[in-house]
Amino acid sequence: MTANTVITKENIEMSYFSFGKGDRAFVILPGIGVKSVLNTAKAIEAAYRELAEDHTVYVFDRRRNVPEQYSVREMAADTAAVMRELGISDADIFGASQGGMMAQYIAVDDPDLVHALVLGSTSAYGNDVICATVKSWTGYARARDLTGLTAAFIDRLFSENTIKQFKEFLIHMNDNVSDEELDRFIILAETIYDFDARPVLDQIQCPTLVIGVEDDLAVGGDASRELADLLGCELYMYGNEYAHCVFDEAPDYKHRLTEFYAKHS
């Protein structure tokens, strides 16, 4: 595994890590977090080892130098610029949660970068459930209440079974977070309020799969159905034994990605 930081000619500074030596590029756009995704690089590499057999896997963080006024579409454009800087094109892309929102815009605005697309636990717009989630999280972040923020994350993101098994680990997910990281998180999270890709979804032409979960307290289970309906694409729904982070919980999730990309290789 290698980790690096790219600074593009547009002054976009973005960290990423990569692993695998396959011929095809597989790009993971993770959901929003307070800490950098690089902190969980080893766990992600282990979880996606099946995809690394046929792909070189790239996992992108959000840009470091986040502007105060920002949008999901600009976030997507920044990631697309870094992909081009690295010579990545025609990639299989997996966008989870807010990463799925970004992935929709990349498929619209930079279609040459996308070969096949999987959108997990995400939505076509900032619906009422998502906006309530963001309001709760950013409220704790502004108050610098890390205990409350972490508890709100756990409640919205994970199933009862995951919480029971990993609570001692999960309660420490935001330990040692800085005020700078919290301010960056607030900016990134609040981009969701104005997010609405519905007017342009008909421009997505690549093979697409939406994966959702019935009991999604962060975006709502109906969000996945609505997104798949708007795209006219495949949909797979997990039952209520899983939660928003079903991509980390369901043992067959990564294999579903592998099968979908192989089908459209």
Query: Model confidence over 116-152: pLDDT tens digits?
Result: 999 999 999 999 999 999 999 999 999 999 999 999 9
In a domain, 247, yes or no: yes
pLDDT per position as a tens digit, 142-187: 999 999 999 999 999 999 999 999 999 999 999 999 999 999 999 9
The boundaries of the domain holding residue 218 are 2-126+195-263
Q: pTM score, two decimals?
A: 0.96
**How much is the pLDDT for 258?**
97
Residue 142 maps to a domain = no
Tell me: the pLDDT tens digits for 65-114?
Answer: 899 999 999 999 999 999 999 999 999 999 999 999 999 999 999 999 99
Its sign, for the CA torsion 171, 249, 241, 210, is positive
199 in any annotated domain: yes
State both tokens at 40.
């969980």
Let me know if residue 20 belongs to a domain.
yes
Q: Which CATH number characterizes residue 19's domain?
A: 3.40.50.1820
Residue 11 reports pLDDT greater than 90: no
* Structural domains counted in the chain: 1
In a domain, 91, yes or no: yes
CA neighbor of 92 nearest in space, from 262, 261, 234, 263: 261
Beta strands in the chain (DSSP E): 2-7, 13-19, 24-29, 55-63, 91-96, 114-120, 208-213, 234-238
Cβ-Cβ contacts under 8 Å for 216 (sequence gap 6 or more): 121, 129, 223, 224, 243, 244
Distances in Å between the Cα of 252 and the Cα atoms of 102, 166, 180, 212, 248 are: 24, 19, 37, 13, 10
What element of type H or E holds 224? helix 221-231
187 found inside a domain: no
265 pLDDT band (50/70/90 cuts)? confident
